[in-house]
Structure 1
Amino acid sequence: MSNKKKDKGTEGGGGTIALNKRARHDYHLEDRFEAGLALQGWEVKAIRAGRANIGESYAMVRNGEIFLYGSQITPLISASTHVVANDRRDRKLLLHRHEIDRLLGRVEREGYTLVPTAMYWKNGKIKLEIALAKGKQAHDKRATTKERDWQRDKQRVMRSHNRNA
């Protein structure tokens, strides 16, 4: 047995697999939940190789369960001997019943959307972070961009001021 640490991003390492960077730009993100994913064996191998994309995905409630739609896991050529039917299939999210009920109520009554924000390793398992989100209007997106630019400029000025002092 070796005493080497596992690298971030490998199984059990706790590293990030995929991020949905557009989610922060397009939505006001509120509550976040951690969900497990029901995956097939070839999907785990492909994710381990870094072939997952959640950029255009979303989650919806169907028959009292939550499913992930639009996520892409591209199969490895050598991963299996059988033909993979669909790399964008619907994947079931594994949550506690009270979490599903809470999400269902907020989505149906208050008009929220379930947006995946990150996929990562935790304790050797693949987890998906989903957030309750409200869509941003165009003027909200401009305001967010303006605020981010202002914070960046402010940091730049402070750094140069501290160097000269």
Structure 2
Amino acid sequence: MKEKFFVFNKKVYYNFFIKEKINAGLILKGWEVKSLRLNKVTIINSYVTVLDKKIYVYNLDISPLKTVCNHIQFDSKRVKQLLLKKKEIEFLQNYINKKGFTIVVLGLFWKKSWCKINLAVVKGKKKHDKRNILKKKIWNVKKTRLLKKNI
């Protein structure tokens, strides 16, 4: 089943090669869920680490609503724990231990009433990789135009 993201990180596809994708649950507070429903979230520099066999996401910025209670302390950059099975955590831990791999956030989506996060195991692109990919895209566009003219 294809997820429909309400927040998506397009820069991941430009800056990284994607090796694996995993869906995970998020542990959130009530005000965070309300803010997520109104798309008050940024995931651009979000990344994942494993500490004490638990997995956490950093730099997932959820801004609080102005209409929420004043007696609650808001921390928009709070480190959020993710819900994964032990095998999935070990799988991600193995990739983190390999040199050059990191885990980033691809997007957020709703599954029924639960907010889920899509993670990607990635390896960074070098400048020459980005140039080669751009050249291939340009060549594919030219090739389709040439084929259309000849038909």
Question: Normalization by structure 2: what TM-score?
Answer: 0.88
Q: Deviations over 1:16-71 (max 9, x none)?
A: 22111111111110110000000000000000011111111111111111100011
Task: Look up the equivalent residue of 1:95 and give its one-letter code.
Answer: L
RMSD: 2.0
Query: Any conservation in 1 of the 2:6–2:107 contact (CA below 8 Å)?
Result: yes
- Equivalence for 2:134: 145
Residues 1:84 and 1:98: Cα distance change in structure 2 (over 3 Å): same
Which structure 2 residue ranges, 5 or more long, are not aligned? none
How many pairs does the alignment contain? 149
2:7 aligned with 1:18, yes or no? yes
Q: Which residue of 2 aligns with 1:136?
A: 125
Q: Which aligned pairs between 1:4-153 and structure 2 lie closer than 5 A?
A: 15-153=4-142
Distance in 2 (CA, whole Å) between partners of 1:76 and 1:94 is: 25
Q: TM-score, normalised by structure 1?
A: 0.81
List gaps (5 residues or longer) in structure 1.
Answer: 1-13
77-86 or 27-36, which deviates more: 77-86
Q: In structure 2, what is the equivalent of residue 9 of structure 1?
A: none
* CA positional deviation for 1:122: 1.2
Tell me the SS of whatever aligns to 2:71.
coil
Identity %, equivalent residues = 32
